[in-house]
Chain A
Amino acid sequence: MSELSQLAQLINELKLAEVKSLASKMIEEGASAQDILVQCQEGMAEIGRRFDQGECFIPELVVAGKIMEAVMKDLEPLLKEAAATAEGSGAVVMGTVMNDVHDIGKDIVVMMLRGSGFRVIDLGVNVSPEKFVEAVKDNNPAVIGMSVLLTTCYQSISKTVEAIQQAGLRDHVSIMLGGAAATEILAQKTGCDFYGKTAMDAVVYASQRSKAA
């Protein structure tokens, strides 16, 4: 692994105040918002790597996400093309399935995907199959991610997969499933392509599919 920049390292160490002041200083000194964002994403990627290795856990991901949110507030006005972020990025449509209103897990995945450079279309909670289909049509993502916490919403997953199939989009998009109620068996039975146990599984899968697309 190449050495982290100072900014990336501060993110990795979850130093909110220091990250904000260094980012402001870099802006004042003329660094491009794009460069700062890329460095932030390196920091997020390092946290993701540590999460994968069992060296840090969801509380650290949440704090890192909060830091990214704070930095993005300063950067967004400067980023002319928010959509064109890091190299190799693509679009991912995310949502919690119909009749399920839980968002913690989905929000963490959204945060990690954004932190890794993806353009994420977050449809929120209680998302109908039709809404997923519409978002796929509008954004042409390589991947959609469904989150499910309730065992009773299994059918919402199958219905969404069916709706995507019926809209003729199934071959254009990979479907990943995650959330407390999700399992490998469930992903298979509902016709999804991938089950992700952790937020980082989602990031790795989305990266692979985006490159393949």
Chain B
Amino acid sequence: MSGDMEQIYNERLKRYVAAMRNEKPDRIPIRPLAAEFCAAYAGYTCQQVTHDLDYAFDAVLKCCADFDWDAAVSNMVFVWTGSVDAINLKYYTKPGIDTPADSCFQYLEPKDDDAHMKEDEYDALIEDPTGYLANVWMPRVSRDVQPIGEPSTYRNNLAWLKGGMSVLQYFQRLGEQGARMKNETGTVSAIAGCLKSPFDIIADKLRGYRGLCMDLFTQPEKVLKAVDALAPHMMFNALAGADPDKNVPITIWMHRGCVPFLSLEQFERFYWPSLKAIVEEIWSQGHQILFYAEGDWNENLKYFAELPEQSIIFHVDKSDLFKAHEILGEKFCLSGGIPNELIAMGTPEEVKDYCKKVIDAAAQDGGFIMDAAAIMQDDAKIENVKAMTEFTREYGVY
């Protein structure tokens, strides 16, 4: 790394970390969660970046080289169809195969009768979550993995082997990508380690949201026990991928906990206690958590205010940024809040005006990171992303 690049990197890291600790850096850091946007910018299709890591990483590096971003995600297109294919996984659509090449991958929620976990399987999950996932869940989500008791096949054996190899390969490449971002572009790799709330995992990948809604009424005690049984696994997984230097945060991708997906009473009972305990434990080990709070969490903000100071960075998608600043701003850094539809369909002037409004209201005392509200896909207009970046650089100096 050249001396200049090292200096740029160190300045950016310092700025990014200071903001995340709710302090006032020299200027507002910019950290876009840019996914298929990078592909569009680099001239690749969604299919190319979803299927081939070389394209995915190259697209991010091009953006990092051309935009003055302090931090970026090393690959925000988080489904790599290499891994999907390795185990012949059923639940993602593949761009270029199931949908057009210029559309992003999507999660296919099974129909209620076909949920990956059946309503009478809570005891098995609670008893041994890992065993349940390996023996019962995997054969349902993979076309190649054989159920326990069925004759093994070479496809079954290769699915486990290739699946494990693909994950190792991915994370090794991810490490190299972080180093390239640093050395070649002076950009910080923004996040490390992945957390999900136990409730969201049950809703997303096990029972399905609708199935879980029924369970809240028909077998609430089992849901609670399952949430508790999964919590240590969620935490282990998050810490296993965390930044050993404790600079950049673990990210939690939250979506089914907010009103109206759950009432506050349901949130208090099923969602929050286990998640709060996980956040407190992770923070006690020195790691911050980026709360990617997908959707509108206005009603739930007061609960997040209970968390230890600095333990999270609250990312605003459709929550009211100004309300979030009022309720959480004293204790935590905020990020995001620039509407994606504005970035996709508005003009650079409209984007700049919105950024100004946000900076004026929520970033005056530091503790703010500029970003779009949600992960940016290939509909984000390049001139609008430029406008967000350049305006923040100019106007966001403290």
A residues touching B (Cβ–Cβ < 8 Å)?
14, 51, 56-59, 62-63, 66, 99-104, 107, 126, 150-155, 180-181, 183, 185-186, 189, 198
Given contact pairs A151-B340, A154-B345, A180-B295, A102 touches B106 in the complex (Cβ within 8 A): yes
CB distance from B200 to the nearest CB of A (A): 14
- Asked if B263 and A59 make an inter-chain contact with CB atoms under 8 angstroms apart, the answer reads yes
- Asked if B209 and A104 make an inter-chain contact with CB atoms under 8 angstroms apart, the answer reads yes
A99 vs B102: C-alpha distance when bound (angstroms): 10
- Asked if A100 and B217 make an inter-chain contact with CB atoms under 8 angstroms apart, the answer reads no
Given contact pairs A57-B261, A186-B341, A151 touches B379 in the complex (Cβ within 8 A): yes
Given contact pairs A152-B103, A183-B339, A14 touches B108 in the complex (Cβ within 8 A): no
Contacts of B214 in A (CB 8 A): 62-63, 66
Given contact pairs A62-B213, A151-B341, A154-B344, A51 touches B260 in the complex (Cβ within 8 A): yes
A181 vs B345: C-alpha distance when bound (angstroms): 13
Given contact pairs A104-B209, A189-B341, A126 touches B99 in the complex (Cβ within 8 A): yes
- Asked if A14 and B217 make an inter-chain contact with CB atoms under 8 angstroms apart, the answer reads yes
A177 vs B341: C-alpha distance when bound (angstroms): 14
- Asked if B263 and A57 make an inter-chain contact with CB atoms under 8 angstroms apart, the answer reads yes
Which of B266, B378, B379 has the most chain A CB atoms closer than 10 A to its own CB?
B379
- Asked if B379 and A63 make an inter-chain contact with CB atoms under 8 angstroms apart, the answer reads no
Contacts of A58 in B (CB 8 A): 213, 260-262
B contact residues, total (Cβ < 8 Å): 33
Instruction: Check B173 for interface membership: any CB of A closer than 8 A.
Output: no
| Cross-interface CB contact of B377 among A51, A152, A189, cutoff 8 Å | A152
- Asked if A104 and B342 make an inter-chain contact with CB atoms under 8 angstroms apart, the answer reads no
Contacts of B295 in A (CB 8 A): 180
Contacts of A180 in B (CB 8 A): 294-295
- Asked if A183 and B341 make an inter-chain contact with CB atoms under 8 angstroms apart, the answer reads yes
Contacts of B179 in A (CB 8 A): none
Contacts of B344 in A (CB 8 A): 151, 154
Contacts of A14 in B (CB 8 A): 217
- Asked if A99 and B209 make an inter-chain contact with CB atoms under 8 angstroms apart, the answer reads no
- Asked if B216 and A152 make an inter-chain contact with CB atoms under 8 angstroms apart, the answer reads no
| Cross-interface CB contact of B379 among A66, A103, A126, A154, cutoff 8 Å | A154
